[in-house]
Amino acid sequence: KAGVTQTPRYLIKTRGQQVTLSCSPISGHRSVSWYQQTPGQGLQFLFEYFSETQRNKGNFPGRFSGRQFSNSRSEMNVSTLELGDSALYLCASSLTGTSTDTQYFGPGTRLTVL
Amino acid sequence: AQSVTQLDSQVPVFEEAPVELRCNYSSSVSVYLFWYVQYPNQGLQLLLKYLSGSTLVKGINGFEAEFNKSQTSFHLRKPSVHISDTAEYFCAVRQQNNAGNMLTFGGGTRLMVKP
């Protein structure tokens, strides 16, 4: 069974632009979560989607948004990019999205903002 | 709210030596505990998790961890490390009985295995 895939793997943008990242979960998984990883702040939770509904949201500004489609694939969007948005963005999927469930992570999208 | 502290940012160790990576957590509610490993340019891979039952949990690649409720700790151990264990290790917690599976991570510990 294929793992979590994220596209693109690398991305370079300039300040003020917007960006869309894509995540395809493991087949059959219904929960998708997004995390931001930076050297300074570490791993921080962005949001979680389950059956096309946002279930939890981390402490990030409204420039960060996401959505989930009926096939469980998810996208996250960052508008008006800032230098501080440079990070590795990780997507994780789980089968049921319950608190005992294991999350499987993708390889991430490395975003560089110039 | 929960928080996770990994006491060592870097741990250098010689090959075939034992290692312990320390993790302490703080939470006002009951949590589940996880250890993940991240190899360079890769995502996170689950090593092991504690949900309930025996406080000694065995994971993949010869790692194990012990949950200590009184000390709110979940330290990761391996009796003999290999060069291939060089990676960054993350301890994480998740609130029990929560609608959702959000993880709160520690800052990570870089394990450097030297020949």
| DSSP line for B49-84 | EE-SS-SEEE-GGG-EEEEETTTTEEEEEESS--GG
Q: Which residue among A42, A90, A98 places its CB closest to the CB of B44? A: A90
A42 pairs with which residues across the strands?
A38
Model pLDDT, residue B2? 86
pLDDT at B98 over 80: no
Which parts of chain A have pLDDT scores under 50? none
- CB-facing half-sphere around the CA of A72: CA atoms within 13 A: 20
Task: State how far residue B6 is from chain A, nearest Cα, in angstroms.
Answer: 12
- Residue of chain A minimizing CA distance to B90: A43
- A15-35 b/e with 16+ CB inside 10 Å = b? eeeebebebbbbeebbbbbbb
B83–A contact, CB cutoff 8 A? no
Model pLDDT, residue A53? 93
B17: closest CA among B62, B82, B74? B82
Rounded Cα gap, residues A72 and A87, in angstroms:
24
- Residue of chain A minimizing CA distance to B3: A44
| CB contacts, 8 Å: A58 with chain B | 102
Model pLDDT, residue B99? 67
Task: State how far residue A79 is from chain B, nearest Cα, in angstroms.
Answer: 23
| CB contacts, 8 Å: B9 with chain A | none
B105–A contact, CB cutoff 8 A? yes
Q: How far is CA A49 from CA A18, A55, A67, in A?
A: 21, 6, 7
Rounded Cα gap, residues B21 and B95, in angstroms:
22
Q: Which residue among A97, A101, A107 places its CB closest to the CB of B43? A: A107
For tokens 């090959």, name the residue: B15
SS3 B85: helix
Q: What is the CA radius of gyration of chain B?
A: 14
A102–B contact, CB cutoff 8 A? yes
Residues A44-74 pLDDT 10s: 999 999 999 999 999 999 999 999 999 999 9
CB atoms near residue B78 (< 10 Å): 22
| CB contacts, 8 Å: B92 with chain A | 43
Q: In sequence order, what are the residues at sequence separation of 6 or more whose Cβ sits closer than 8 angstroms to the Cβ of residue B32?
A: A99, A100, B49, B50, B51, B93, B94, B95, B96
A103–B contact, CB cutoff 8 A? yes
Angle at Cα A44 formed by Cα A41 and Cα A49, nearest 5°? Answer: 160
Rounded Cα gap, residues A19 and A50, in angstroms:
22
Average confidence score pLDDT of chain B: 94
Q: Does B95 sit within 8 Å of A99, measured CB to CB?
A: yes
Rounded Cα gap, residues A94 and B102, in angstroms:
11
Q: Does B46 sit within 8 Å of A104, measured CB to CB?
A: yes
Model pLDDT, residue A97? 85
Rounded Cα gap, residues B84 and B21, in angstroms:
16
Q: Residue B59 phi/psi, 5° resolution? A: -125, -160
Q: How far is CA B87 from CA A36, A54, B42, B43, B109, in A?
A: 19, 32, 10, 11, 8
Residues B12-67 pLDDT 10s: 999 999 999 999 999 888 899 999 999 988 899 999 999 988 899 999 999 999 99
